[in-house]
Amino acid sequence: MSGFIVESASCGVDPGDVLDLRPSLAPGRKHWVALLRNGDLIRIDFATGSKERIADLDLKWKQDDPRVDLYLEPNGEFCAVVERHGQFGAVYELSTGRITFQLDRGDYFPRLSVFPVAFLTHAGRTRVVHGTSWNRLDVSDAETGKLLTARVDAQHDDRERYLDYFHGTLSVSPDGKWIADNGWIWHPSGIVRVWNVVDWLKSNPYESESGDSAREIGTFNQDCDVPFCWVGKAHLAIWGIGGNFKTTYAGLRVFDVTTGNLQMQISQADSPIEHVEANHERPPWFVWDKWLFDISPVRGTLVWDLESGERIGSDKALKPRRYHPVSRQLLDWNEEEFLLIQWQGR
């Protein structure tokens, strides 16, 4: 039998104090990590109802954007906290709580895109990919803040290297070789771009702008920061059927990022059209393990079997925010309670 099991959970943390909450990325660990309004970083175990303080983070850099995002790196040594639609952020060493370096993506319309930041491993060290301008990304060492992608900014008349593109949500492929960037250009029109991390860090600091591996995977009329996620080492699932900035229809597509070729397409003709804005309070999102979870404030939660292309579950009332890859649980919270959601798949 397929369906969702929903239960209220407690852990000694007031859900109204939570700024953001993420699954631990440590192998085999089922706990979560919460950032509280006072800067406390808390490890939560809903199975036992327990909590443990990890660090006290200095959030004095935070400006007027009340919405912040927490990002964890898999080894549990560092985290980043950023203003979701603001200019600033910081990278922290968790063993001490110290800021290793500040993040600043400039003041050119940051409210119109999600702050781009992601962790990856390169040459045995933890690196941070982060926005340093509206149309520029850099990679720095997480511990020292050392810049690893130094280059001269391309000017507008440099047709080969200048990138007229607002960077957005970043996602690193499971094997760490590719980055997907969910940004947009003035219209507004969303564009998902990908490029090879190894080429970027080893041979071409301009790889993210104009490298041989850089390509556009999806384009969307009026929609920005559409749901997307990796569904394999080199395959990316993206919400919306359209392209060439034409009308976007409900559905999803899967692309091979090494070639840019479309691998499969699923129409959602019975789903409402939902225009996605970069500053949406509760943006829609994808997550994949064995199935693809398609989560939206409008559509609720849909479950897709990508092998058959069949929708195998749905619940319009469920609109969770996070997913834990070990416990395979979805999580939502409001001012009063945490909700754990388990899909009982076939």
Tell me the C-alpha distance between 63 and 301, whole Å.
Answer: 33
* Among 111, 128, 110, CA closest to 119: 128
Amino acid identity of residue 304, one-letter, is W
CA distances from 220 to 139, 182, 275 (A): 27, 11, 10
| Span 216-227, pLDDT tens digits | 987 776 667 889
Residue identified by tokens 């175990």 is 45
pLDDT at 322: 97
CB of 78 within 8 A of CB of 92? yes
CB of 85 within 8 A of CB of 114? yes
Tell me the C-alpha distance between 181 and 238, whole Å.
Answer: 12
pLDDT at 159: 76
Mean pLDDT across the chain: 91
Q: Quick one: which H or E segment has residue 179? A: strand 178-185
Query: Residue 103 above 90 pLDDT?
Result: yes
Q: b/e per residue, 226-240, with b = 16+ CB within 10 A?
A: bbbbbbbebbbbbbb
CB of 220 within 8 A of CB of 226? yes
Give the DSSP per-residue string, 137-170.
EEEEETTT--BS---PPPPTT-TTT----EEEEE
| Span 146-173, pLDDT tens digits | 999 999 988 887 778 889 999 999 999 9
DSSP classification of residue 273: P
Average pLDDT over residues 38-61: 95
Which token pair is 132?
Answer: 């340093």
pLDDT at 224: 76
Which token pair is 173?
Answer: 């492929």
Tell me the C-alpha distance between 54 and 33, whole Å.
Answer: 9
pTM, two decimal places? 0.94
CB of 83 within 8 A of CB of 92? no
Tell me the C-alpha distance between 93 and 145, whole Å.
Answer: 11
Which token pair is 79?
Answer: 């985290």
